[in-house]
Homo-oligomer: A and B are copies of this chain.
Amino acid sequence: MVVRNELTDDETDRIFRALADATRRDIVTRVLRQEQSVSALAGHYAMSFAAVQKHVAVLERASLVTKQRRGREQVVHAEMSTLHRAARLLESYEELWHGRARRIDDLLAEEVPPGGRGAE
């Protein structure tokens, strides 16, 4: 299987949206430590089983977790590669910022290249 290292906008949307909820982040940390069935996960939260199931589904659509049947249980485990790629994306933002100092030198040297307004 070919593993692209870059994320599409949609994939990134789903990943960050999935991580933008404390319950889902908690689910992620739990299954990072140890994979668990959906109902085992549900036992930890003060909400219905169906609600937890939905949260898992959101994480699954974001490829942050996968499910695997085992008997009558569905075992949830973390998908590290996705988490890693999200981390790399944020790190690339940091790199972008660190490269900003160089750009400022250029600006000072050149003082606003002509035609700066139009493009893109």
Interface residues of A (CB under 8 A from B): 9, 12-17, 19-22, 25, 28-29, 32-34, 44, 78, 80, 83-84, 86-87, 90-91, 93-94, 96-97, 100, 103-104, 107, 120
Contacts and interface: CB of A to CB of B under 8 A. Distances in A.
A94 B87 contact: yes
A100 B33 contact: yes
Copies in the complex: 2
Closest 3 CB pairs of A and B: A16-B20, A87-B90, A17-B20
- Would you call the interface of chain A mostly helix, strand, loop, or mixed? helix
30 contacts: A12-B19, A12-B20, A12-B25, A13-B20, A13-B21, A13-B22, A14-B20, A15-B20, A16-B17, A16-B19, A16-B20, A17-B17, A17-B20, A29-B96, A32-B93, A33-B100, A33-B103, A33-B104, A34-B100, A34-B107, A78-B97, A80-B97, A83-B90, A83-B93, A83-B94, A86-B90, A87-B87, A87-B90, A87-B94, A90-B90
